[in-house]
Amino acid sequence: MTVEEAIRGRYSIRGFLPDPVPQSTLNNVFELAQWAPSGTNIQPWQVYVASGDTLVTLREEFKRRARAGEKGHPDHSDSGKMGELWRQRRRDCAAALYDAMGIEWEDKAGRAAAAFRNFEMFDAPHVAFLCMHENFGKSSAADVGMYAQTLMLALTAHGLASCAQGTMGHHPQLVRDTFGIESEVKLLFGISFGYEDTSVPANATRTSRAPLSESVVFRD
C-alpha cells in the first residue's frame, strides 16, 4: 500500500468485529506511529490503549453516563463558535451517515441511537486515548494531531480500521482512574480501532472534501 492509497483509503469506521488485534501487530502499528513529527522532536503524546476487560469496563461506564444524561467534563474544549461554511460541512457529514444508516433527518430517536453508538465505541476491540501533559499548549496539541493521523494511516496500512472520537474525551477522570494516570496528564480524544465489520450499514458512509481553492492559496 502506497502512502496515497492509505490516505485515500482511510475512512471512519462505525462498526467493528469483536476480534482483537494480535499484540505483535499492535506493537508494529504503534512503533510506526512513534515516527510522527513534532516541534523540536518533543513527542508530547502519551497514549493509553484499552482492550479486553479494561475496555469492557470503560465502555459500560461511558454508556451508563450517557444514558443517565451525565454531562461530560473534558480537559480541553473550544468555544463552540463555528461559521456557516463549517457548520454546513458538519451537516453534510451527518446527512451522509444518516443516509447510509437509513435514518430520516426527522427521526430524532434514530439519530439519538446513532449518536449513542459513540459511547459504545462502535463495538471496537481496542480504544487508544491520546493525552499530553498540562505543561503543553496548542502547538503541542497540533503535534498530537499529527501523531493521530500517522497512527490511523499505520492502522490502515496494516489492514485495520479506525474512528477518531471526541466523545472519548468527555470523561477524562474516568480514563485517568482506569489507567492510574497522574492528574497533570490531560486527555484530548480517543481512537477506536480494530477490524471493520463490513455488514454494518454506517460503514458505507463516505464524505467528500472541499475543493483545493477553499483551503489552499498558491502565490508566486
The string of pLDDT tens digits covering residues 1-26 is 899 999 999 999 999 999 999 999 99
- Give dist(CA 97, CA 113) in Å, integer: 13
Q: How do residues 136-194 score in pLDDT, each as one tens digit?
A: 988 899 999 999 999 999 999 999 999 999 999 999 999 999 999 999 999 999 999 99
CATH number given to 13-78+120-205: 3.40.109.10
Domain ranges of the chain: 13-78+120-205
Q: What is the pLDDT of residue 124?
A: 98
- Whether the model pTM is above 0.75: yes
Q: What is the pLDDT of residue 54?
A: 98
Amino acid at 88: Q
Best CA proximity match to 67, nearest among 11, 128, 126, 115: 115
- Please give the average per-residue pLDDT across 87-95, as a whole number: 93
- What's the whole-number mean pLDDT along residues 194-219? 96
pLDDT cut 90: percent of the chain above it: 95
For residue 59, what pLDDT is reported? 98
Model confidence at 79, pLDDT cuts 50, 70, 90, reads confident
Tell me the pLDDT tens digit for each residue of 59-76.
999 999 999 999 999 999
pLDDT at 55: 98
Provide the pLDDT for residue 81.
84
What is d(CA 119, CA 60) in angstroms, rounded to the nearest whole number? 9
